[in-house]
Structure 1
């Protein structure tokens, strides 16, 4: 049976005095996950807020991705499957 879903990710960026904080929120319609990330401009760096946004956003998305993978692993284990000991992607889901 075909399955289609639309999930939304919202990225919120906040910059204050050389520190950028990002929050990535995934809404699936039935649940929500949030990832966070930060970036800080070094004292001698040029003030380019876009660069801080990029680093903070990337870190928030990476954090969100890790949480989503852990959620999927937990859901699979709850159904009686265990991760395989091999080095390839567990559960047959490709990256």
Structure 2
């Protein structure tokens, strides 16, 4: 069986008061998943907006990837297949994003 799919990921960045927030959205055609991330400039550091954008976006995509993996694990369990062991580490992004 041969298949070709295209999934679209969009990342929206908003910067306010030294904090950059990112929202990454994955549209698969069957589901929509959203990940969140943020980055804050330390007041003692030089403000380089591009760095905040990169950090917030990468954290949002990491959160999104985790959600996609959890969805795949649930679907594998539903059909009786084994899942990959979960490894937990420090959370990134908004607190509600690491659940």
| TM range, smaller chain | 0.7 to 0.9
Name structure 1 gaps, 5 residues minimum: 86-95
Name structure 2 gaps, 5 residues minimum: 86-99
The residue aligned with 1:65 is: 65
CA-based RMSD of the aligned residues comes to 1.2
Q: 4+ runs of 1 displaced by more than 3 Å? A: none
The residue aligned with 1:17 is: 17
Q: Which structure would you say has the larger RCO, counting Cα contacts within 8 Å and 6 or more residues apart?
A: 2
Q: Aligned partners of 2:2 and 2:14: how far apart in 1?
A: 39
TM (norm. structure 1) is 0.85
Larger radius of gyration: 1
Number of aligned residue pairs: give it: 85
